[in-house]
Chain A
Amino acid sequence: MISYRKILCSAVAAAALLVGPALAEEKPAALGVGVFSFTSGGTAAYGKPGRDAAELMIERINAKGGIGGVPLSATYVDEGQGTEGVIAEYRKLAGDAATQVMIAALSSGNCMALAPVSDQMKIPTVGWNCDTHQLYLKDAHPYFFRPNGNTVPEFVAYAAYLIAVKPDVKRIAIINPDYAFGHDAAKIFTSAIKAFKPDVEVVAELFPKLGAGTYQTEISRLTAARPDVIFSNLWGGDLENFVRQASPRGLFRSSQAVLALGESSMQNVQIPEGVIVGVLGDGWWMSPDAAANPETKEFADAYKAKYGKWPVFPAMKMANSFLYVQAAYEKAMAGNGGKWPTREEVAGAMKGSEVKTLTGTMQTRADNDGVVDQIIGVTAKADGHDGPVIGDMVRYKGADLMPPAGEDPIAWIGTLAADLPAKLPQPGSYK
């Protein structure tokens, strides 16, 4: 059966063939994009939605005639093969003139390794998911853009939300994965909480290794520590295992849980109601801003139809990164009189750009780091939607929680005023 979409695609392609040469002769047959995500190993649970969203976005952009009349053509690279392999693939793609832009990478370690390579090979690269605040701390990367934001606003936001809903919190416990992301988050979250409420005590700090599988000992420790709040940035399969094992033991009843990456797993595992979750940015596809955008609804429906699930926030981050690339090309072409832009011109267009995405805006700072809003809420049920949703939402302005460029972020968190959570928008105000 030939689908309507296929006919449309062929029609567009035919039209492009007929009209294309007449408009501009130097336009390539396809715009090559390198897309990097985890598609093997345990981390693929989080990486696959990103990859799926990339495929869907390319399909959608090409159905509308591509970017400036040129269809996108992606080369997918699996980050599960290790950093060396990722760099080798990146260099191979960047050395090929057909590839003009990269969307890389999911892992912060890979972004740190790829950023100097992007400068060296002068290819504009969009870090779609990596969020370490170390990325731009020491070196400038003129070709590496990370519009999706960094760990500091992501986790300071949780501290602000928590203080707003639970101003009498005294004892907090942390269970994070044992690598840089887990340790960074623990440091940022505790520094922020202490800035807002100095008498808070950290009663347990646990770092199970990535992919641990069983968390029974940790759950016992957490239960015995009697914390008011348990903060965690476990993710993917780890988060799902933790929730499955902690729920029956009543951990979520005795303590308020904060699952920072909860949204990415709430369609796979039953997270009890009332748990604080968020999306490390503004990528909640059902947020009021997203719901007001017909494109987002269309994308979400197409995603659900194609993959059987609603798009989780890694999928939204990937989709938004494609819009970011598209906007850069359109801006570059508008700037040079409609000619097909070079890699330099595309990077130039990304510089300082502000792009409207499916869920909000991505603002590029002078150091190429991104400023995005932070949406946080609690797990809830909604009528007329087959799955959990986020209720009591707040949308913090990204700029309010972002340390100034070049400043030591941890020291900056220490300078935050204790009454900041009271001055920011309040939980439930975003509807």
Chain B
Amino acid sequence: MPLLPLAGGAIIALVAATFAFPWLEFVLTLAIAKGLAALGVAILLRGGLISIGHAMFFAIGAYATAFAMRDFGITDVFALILISAVISLAAGLLIGVYVVRYRAIFFAMLNLAISMVLFSLLSKFYGVTGGTDGLRVGTPTVLGMVLEAKAVATFLFYASIAAMVLAGFAVNAYFKSPLGEALSAVHTNEIRLEYLGIPVRGVLLIAYGLSALLAGIGGTFAAMTIGHVLPDMAYWTDSGHLVLVAVLGGISGIGGPFVGAVFLELVHTLAAGVTDAWNMIVGTALLGVIFFMPKGLIGFIRPAKKGDAA
């Protein structure tokens, strides 16, 4: 697979960048966290479903981390990731049972609606969730070791890269499995799939649960990196952001959402550092990609093959 060395090179470039500019460590950890969530959105896009509510699972992962730390005194980074993963997967399956009955605009809108309900709950239950000021997330410990905050930030950066690689391989294997192939087939012709005796809702539910799991893991990385969780994490613009990241990077491969996330975070950071009109620069960059790279950023390196989802 000629793509593997390319991906390896990209990861080495990411690591090298943090040696040249130490402040990039935070930006990139966050970008990878969002990339994980965007990969979740990309899975659903392969099945032809657009979710404009996936930030809710990102927020569920983040708040699960904050609550586990505050209310149960769990500080180990691996335990926190595990707890958030389990909770977001459970939430994904629960919500999934309901929403996978719908397609197209109805699926998108239902996701949006449920995510906004979560957003309201997070902002209104002031005593439990800290309201719009959010909750603080302390510095986690690593396998029982109490490290300095700086060392933990570096650890989280490398851990997020490891999570990205693992997720990449796992999702790649999933796409190649019968379940993953069935997912693409849902997009092409759902009725034919039913006639073949494949339960479409089951296929979609697994995809939905998987995508929620990825978003939740992204959320827990974001919570630990930022050190603070806010209801805004579940707001619909953040969900839109995830779809944008996935489409921007390109959904034809695993790398796309990560490339899109890193690209968007970097453009944002650089633009906001230059001018108050940073929104304009970000917007122009997006228009550029959409007009001139219809396959997304990843289309640059990965020529389109027959059968790729557009």
> Which residues of A approach B to under 8 Å, CB–CB?
39-40, 76-78, 81-85, 87-89, 91-92, 95-96, 108-109, 112-113, 116-117, 120, 132, 134, 138-139, 178-180, 183
Contacts and interface: CB of A to CB of B under 8 A. Distances in A.
A91 B276 contact: no
A91 B228 contact: no
B202 interface: no
Contacts of B228: 83, 87, 112-113, 116
A410 B116 CA distance: 30
A91 B134 contact: no
B217 to A, nearest CB: 17
A203 to B, nearest CB: 22
B132 A109 contact: yes
Contacts of B139: 116, 120
Given A179-B131, A180-B126, A89 B272 contact: yes
Interface of B: 22-23, 26-27, 30, 123, 126, 130-134, 136, 138-139, 149-150, 222, 226-228, 230, 232, 268-269, 272-273, 276-279
Residue of A84, A132, A180 contacting most chain B CB atoms (<10 Å)? A84
A418 to B, nearest CB: 27
Contact of A112 (B27, B136, B232): B136
B279 to A, nearest CB: 7
Contact of A139 (B123, B132, B136, B273): B136
A44 to B, nearest CB: 9
B23 to A, nearest CB: 4
Given A85-B269, A88-B30, A180-B132, A95 B278 contact: no
Residue of B136, B138, B227, B228 contacting most chain A CB atoms (<10 Å)? B228
A365 B122 CA distance: 33
Contacts of B279: 40
B276 A113 contact: no
A183 B126 contact: yes
Contact of A78 (B22, B230, B276): B276
A88 B276 CA distance: 16
Given A109-B132, A116-B136, A83 B272 contact: no
A134 B132 CA distance: 12
Given A113-B226, A116-B149, 9 more contacts: A77-B272, A78-B278, A87-B227, A88-B269, A91-B23, A109-B134, A120-B139, A179-B131, A180-B133
A138 B69 CA distance: 14
10 contacts: A77-B272, A78-B276, A88-B23, A88-B269, A89-B272, A112-B134, A116-B138, A116-B139, A134-B133, A180-B133
B278 A112 contact: no
B62 to A, nearest CB: 11
Contacts of B273: 89, 92
Kindly list the 3 A-B residue pairs having the minimum CB-CB distance in the complex, ordered from nearest: A92-B23, A179-B132, A113-B228
B90 to A, nearest CB: 26
A120 B154 CA distance: 13
Contacts of A92: 23, 269, 273
A138 B132 CA distance: 17
B134 A78 contact: no
Contacts of B130: 134, 180
